[in-house]
Amino acid sequence: MTTRHAMTTADAAWLHMDRPTNLMIINSVLWFEEPLDWERARSVLVERIVGPFPRFSQLVHEGGVLGGPSWDDDPAFDVDNHLHRYALPAPGDQAVLQEVVGDLIVRPLDRSRPLWEMVLLEGYGGGDALLVRMHHCIADGIALARVMMSLTDLDGEPLGFAAHADGPHRSRAGTLAGLAGAAVHEAYETAVHPNHAKALALHAASDARTLSKLLLPGTETPSSLKGEQHIRHAVAWSPPVGLATIKAAGQALEATVNDVVVAAVAGAVGRLLRLRARRAPGLIEEAKEVLLKLFDADAEYSADTLEGIYDDLKKVSAQVLEGSVTDSDAQTVLSDIARQEDLNGRIRRNMLDTRRAVSFMMRSKMLNAEQFEDARQILRDIESLDSHTQFLFDKINFLMDATVGFLNINQNKIIKIFSVASVALLPPTLIASVYGMNFRVMPELEWEYGYVYVIILMVASALGPMIYFRKRGWLK
């Protein structure tokens, strides 16, 4: 008897959003330094994913308008139908892998089978790569990431923390009850806190604008990122960024990991749009626009330069804070710091001149509404860069103080040597001075062992302070 499970509303939405030009498939690429043992990988896949998670052996059944889609057990399920192997063409580098992956991810998954597949790409560098494709209706990205992590081991033991892909699902009645509860809660908040109605209105207006962009064609702002969609996809990825680095940035900014990643992607997309805009034909039609675009490009150049200064200061900081800076190292460091300080100062002076020029254009009322908004955006960019230059000045001052501190430590070590030597040699010098007086009454002058006695006394008087200093730890 076939077991049937109702699909959640969210998963059904992902299923029905599938388009040939925009497949709702999560694609993951893993690569290995050594060739993968395919048979062993197959057994691990069956043991840790196909067995524990029913979604990987179930079909999608469309139940019609009233019934909605559901999950049915596949009576003819065969895991080998979902596993494929290909050999990468020479030279098997990252560019070749990206091109092959781009060709593979445009293929829709077979709806007559469970919606996933894995493709072994042999000959990537010295090892292999693995393309994993799973439809978004199976689970969300976080759950699928945990499923993928369940394939890995830590110290020879499975991680075993994957969230179950067949977890509890809310029924439609439960969803309606939740919506009704939310409505009652908002009504209560509005009655108790009248200002809450204003906040709801603002949120409703924002949601309405978002909905209009999704439903009404032509309501979005034109952009070089928008255009006719195509089936062909290009695939690329950046070098890995350590999670510890992202968490440190999030902690410094009181933000989440997701906030940092989204901000980085948004910044990259914004920079791409500005770069494309400058190259667009017919972008500039009058002198004021030329001037504004020059000021915008100047702010962009200043931002890139400040990033370069920060990267250079990171290298200097690593060299200074490692704890062993010689005088020659300190000379190099001080030279680098002075160069970065001068460049940072020139950038700040340049931004001051740009701010004054843009502010003058805004006060003179020579700009139209769109140009005025562009000028305001330039001023906002300059304001953010101005605070960053102050941060760099503080960092430069800290590194300068730290470097000078290491120089003082090195000088103190030298002075310490002379101080110890002078204190240790003071008693022998005093003894030699006493016996060099040649007074008439000096019994040791007639003593046969007087000379040896004085030498031993001088050596002992020198060793005494040295032993004391060493015991107190002053010679370290």
Supply the CATH number for residue 67's domain.
3.30.559.10
Q: Is residue 375 part of a domain?
A: yes
Average pLDDT, the chain: 78
Answer yes or no: is pLDDT of 121 > 90. Answer: yes
CA-nearest of 38, 71, 210, 224 to 139 is: 71
Do 9 and 87 belong together in one domain?
yes
Do 295 and 341 belong together in one domain?
yes
% of the chain beyond a pLDDT of 90: 11
Domain count, the chain: 5
Of residues 19 and 215, which shows the higher confidence score? Answer: 19
Question: Which band of pLDDT confidence, cut at 50, 70 and 90, is reported for residue 211?
Answer: low
How far apart (Å, rounded) are the C-alpha atoms in residues 30 and 129?
Answer: 6
What digits encode the pLDDT tens for the residues 238-290?
888 888 999 998 888 888 888 888 888 888 887 777 777 666 655 555 677 77
Q: Which domain holds residue 299?
A: 289-410
Residue pointed to by tokens 């001052």: 397
Task: Answer with the one of 368, 388, 410 that is the final residue of a domain.
Answer: 410
pTM: 0.51
Q: Is residue 332 part of a domain?
A: yes
Q: Is residue 277 part of a domain?
A: yes
Do 382 and 418 belong together in one domain?
no
Instruction: Supply the pLDDT for residue 213.
Output: 55
Task: Answer with the one of 389, 410, 431 that is the final residue of a domain.
Answer: 410
Do 47 and 119 belong together in one domain?
yes
Q: Is residue 207 part of a domain?
A: yes
Q: Is residue 164 part of a domain?
A: no
Q: Is residue 185 part of a domain?
A: yes
Do 330 and 352 belong together in one domain?
yes
What digits encode the pLDDT tens for the residues 327-360?
777 778 888 888 888 888 888 888 888 888 888 8
How far apart (Å, rounded) are the C-alpha atoms in residues 437 and 217?
Answer: 111
> In this structure, which amino acid lies at residue 320?
V
Instruction: Supply the pLDDT for residue 114.
Output: 92
Do 11 and 123 belong together in one domain?
yes
Of residues 203 and 410, which shows the higher confidence score? Answer: 410
Task: Answer with the one of 158, 185, 205 that is the final residue of a domain.
Answer: 158
Do 59 and 145 belong together in one domain?
yes
Assigned token pair, 466: 């040295």
Do 137 and 39 belong together in one domain?
yes
Instruction: Supply the pLDDT for residue 179.
Output: 47
* Segment 410-425 mean pLDDT: 76
Do 247 and 118 belong together in one domain?
no
Answer yes or no: is pLDDT of 161 > 60. Answer: no
Among 177-181, 406-410, 444-448, the range scoring the smallest mean pLDDT is 177-181
Do 10 and 33 belong together in one domain?
yes
Do 71 and 207 belong together in one domain?
no
Of residues 451 and 367, which shows the higher confidence score? Answer: 367
Question: Which band of pLDDT confidence, cut at 50, 70 and 90, is reported for residue 170?
Answer: very low
Domain of 393, CATH number, reads: 1.20.58
**Radius of gyration (C-alpha) of the chain in whole angstroms:** 37
Among 259-263, 298-302, 442-446, the range scoring the smallest mean pLDDT is 442-446
CA-nearest of 31, 26, 25 to 239 is: 31
Question: Which band of pLDDT confidence, cut at 50, 70 and 90, is reported for residue 85?
Answer: very high
Decide: 392 and 344 in contact? Cβ < 8 Å: yes
Question: Which band of pLDDT confidence, cut at 50, 70 and 90, is reported for residue 169?
Answer: very low
Q: Is residue 227 part of a domain?
A: no
Answer yes or no: is pLDDT of 226 > 60. Answer: yes
* Segment 175-191 mean pLDDT: 50
Do 151 and 10 belong together in one domain?
yes
Q: Is residue 44 part of a domain?
A: yes
Of residues 208 and 387, which shows the higher confidence score? Answer: 387
- Could you tell me how many residues make up the chain? 476
Decide: 223 and 277 in contact? Cβ < 8 Å: no
- Exposure string of 77-110, with b = 16+ CB inside 10 Å and e = fewer, is eeeeebeeeeebeeebeeebbeebbeebbeeebe
Q: What is the DSSP string of 5-43?
A: EEPPHHHHHHHHT-BTTB--EEEEEEEESS---HHHHHH
Answer yes or no: is pLDDT of 168 > 50. Answer: no
Question: Which band of pLDDT confidence, cut at 50, 70 and 90, is reported for residue 175?
Answer: very low
Decide: 289 and 371 in contact? Cβ < 8 Å: yes
